Amino acid sequence: MAYFEKVLKDPVHDTIVVDDPWIWRLINASSVQRLRRIRQLGTSYLTFHGAEHSRFTHSLGAYETMRRVLEQLKAEFGWPVDDRDRRLALAVALLHDIGHGPFSHTFESIYPVHHEHWTRRIILEDAELASILAEVDHQLGHDLVGILEKKDGHPLIQQLITSQLDVDRMDYLLRDALITGVSYGRFELNRILRSLALHDGQLLLKASALHTVEQYILARYFMYTQVYLHPVTVGSDVLVRQILLRAGELWREGRLADMPLELRVFVDEEGPSVSVADYLAVDESTLLYAFRIWTRAGDKVLSDLAQRFLNRRLFAPIVLPAEPSQEQWAHLRTAARALGLHPDYYVSGRESAIAGYVYLGQGISILRPDGSVSELSRESRIVRSLVPDTEYRLFLPKEMIEGEGPVCERVRSVLKLP
């Protein structure tokens, strides 16, 4: 094979090296290039103005992290043995997020289009991508899907892409921390990579890297509490959801004149009827264009919601100890009506789950110096202290809680706000 190498500059890894023309063809497939038009952090750019990076940049970063892992494991433990396994691992890292839609998880909550389902369908059904994968062999695409579905076979690659210590998380934590400008999402990636080990067919971490993996777990915890579940970002997601719900309702009732062709299939049909080509035709430019034209909609609710999102007049987040009671909900909905706001679209709440460390069946295995194997939470008091938690946020237009008059005073009284 003729010498081939592409070196890409990257803010996280410094360089991303592609030394296989087959991988380069995967990167340039249209379904992968579409990820340039899907933001990695969804609406977080309205909270952290630098968060404009894409799923494409993260996919390249996950690929590069996997490439470096494979180099380390090959040099020290002789795995992977054959080139097919190497290509399989690199491809799954590159393609693991290919099914994400615009504003990812919010889009999924409206339409039955879970990104993991679409990742599997795109790998198997997109003609261009399937053709490239088949250059290795016709089973490769099915093996990629099997790994993502955590089926039997290729357990080491599964661990490297879908575990609590995988190349996906390693890249997005560092990338998201860098781009948002926060410092608590950082950890020593190279130290972790050098400390990976193979033992009895299992991927482990050497005990010498205990403090580094604690740093990684804490980075993940703080990124969830301070970035991924930031109240302003969650409120932005809620606003996107309300816009799409209102537009869909109006379209089905024949009361909305403008609906981009690419969105109509999601509004008119059930999820299983949406083809891979239909799905790949939708990205964030589609939604942002739709929001722009809906600012001129005849429906005052849709027009106002779209303008709020585009002009960053977001709902105010109110952190509560628990979900409001039925009586409180009734008071809030009545107040919204009194202010001329549709309560179904202007009064909403969401419970956010804060990730801790899961050890039952999903823990990070530690290889002790004597050759015995332990589990991270047994070795680290810090990790044991991180338990999952939940927080309830209520989202209202700011004028409902900051305005003057008896209605706004009543809202503040119901929510016990100053």
170-184 confidence digits (pLDDT tens): 999 999 999 999 998
Handedness of CA 314, 316, 321, 324 (dihedral sign): negative
Please state which CATH number belongs to domain 6-227: 1.10.3210.10
Show me where the domains of the chain are located: 6-227
Is a pLDDT exceeding 60 seen at residue 269? no
In the three-class reduction of DSSP (H, G, I as helix; E, B as strand; rest coil), residue 366 is classed as strand
CA dist., res. 240 & res. 290, Å (int): 11
Q: What is the pTM of this model?
A: 0.95
The pLDDT tens digits for 182-215 are: 998 899 999 999 999 999 889 999 999 999 999 9
Name which of 160, 1, 142, 42 is nearest 93 in CA terms: 160
* pLDDT attached to residue 105: 81
Beta bridge partners of 365: 375
* pLDDT attached to residue 1: 59
The pLDDT tens digits for 65-113 are: 999 999 999 999 999 999 999 999 999 999 999 999 999 788 888 886 6
Is a pLDDT exceeding 80 seen at residue 300? yes
CB contact at 8 A, 207 and 379:
yes
Is a pLDDT exceeding 70 seen at residue 271? no
Name which of 355, 375, 354 is nearest 365 in CA terms: 375
**Quick one: average pLDDT of 292-313?**
98
* pLDDT attached to residue 115: 86
The pLDDT tens digits for 348-372 are: 999 988 877 877 667 899 999 999 9
CA dist., res. 79 & res. 83, Å (int): 10
Is a pLDDT exceeding 60 seen at residue 165? yes
Is a pLDDT exceeding 80 seen at residue 398? yes
Handedness of CA 74, 78, 80, 82 (dihedral sign): positive
Q: What is the DSSP letter of 392?
A: E
Higher pLDDT, 50 or 274: 50
Q: How confident is the model at residue 24 (pLDDT cuts 50, 70, 90)?
A: very high
Is a pLDDT exceeding 90 seen at residue 270? no
* pLDDT attached to residue 104: 79
**Quick one: average pLDDT of 336-345?**
97
Higher pLDDT, 388 or 146: 146
**Quick one: average pLDDT of 240-246?**
96
The share of the chain scoring above pLDDT 90, in percent, equals 86
- Tell me the helix, strand and coil percentages in the chain, rounded to 5: 55, 10, 30
CA dist., res. 301 & res. 249, Å (int): 12
| Helical packing angle, 55-77 and 167-180, nearest 10° | 130
**Quick one: average pLDDT of 395-399?**
96
Contacts for 397 with CB less than 8 Å, ≥ 6 apart: 308, 315, 316, 341, 346
Higher pLDDT, 185 or 26: 26
Average pLDDT, the chain: 94
